[in-house]
Amino acid sequence: MIYVGLGSRFLALLIDGLLLSAVFFPTTRIVKGVWLMAPSDHLWRVGWLVSDPLCMIFLLVIAIYFVVLEGVFGRTVGKWFLGLRVVRKDAGNPGLRRALLRNLLRLVDALPVLSILGVVLIIRSPEKARVGDLVAGTRVVKIDR
């Protein structure tokens, strides 16, 4: 297996972000009447908790996108486009439970800022695994097309 480093993973995430933005910006325009919402457009309750229903729906869609596509198919659209796949350590499909765990731990990988922990682990790990990969028993690999 050829483990995938930071550059390809970032590009896949960028493609996924562009795809999700292509859905979210027009939806925001239709629902809210603006292309891009300012912080003042959100209803804030406590700290980082956003009470705006549209934002909560977007966050849920993002979570479902990554968990379902990686869990069922082993890849998101960005990973598919670049020929990457999320696999178990034995090269099998990760499944929904591992994909959920892997994606929940993105919060840990993001610590302390700018995903530094995840970046350092990907660079230093022989298997290029971030915390989410280590705990879930998954790796991101390059596949032959």
| Model confidence pLDDT, tens digit, residues 127-142 | 999 999 999 999 999 9
- pLDDT score recorded for residue 14: 97
The pLDDT of residue 96 is above 70: yes
- What is the reported pTM? 0.87
- Domain boundaries defined on the chain: 2-142
**Which 3-state string (H, E, C) describes 77-129?**
HHHHHHCEEEEECCCCCCHHHHHHHHHHCHHHHCCCCCCHHHHHHHHHCCCCC
Strand-pair partners of 86: 140
| Mean pLDDT across 61-90 | 97
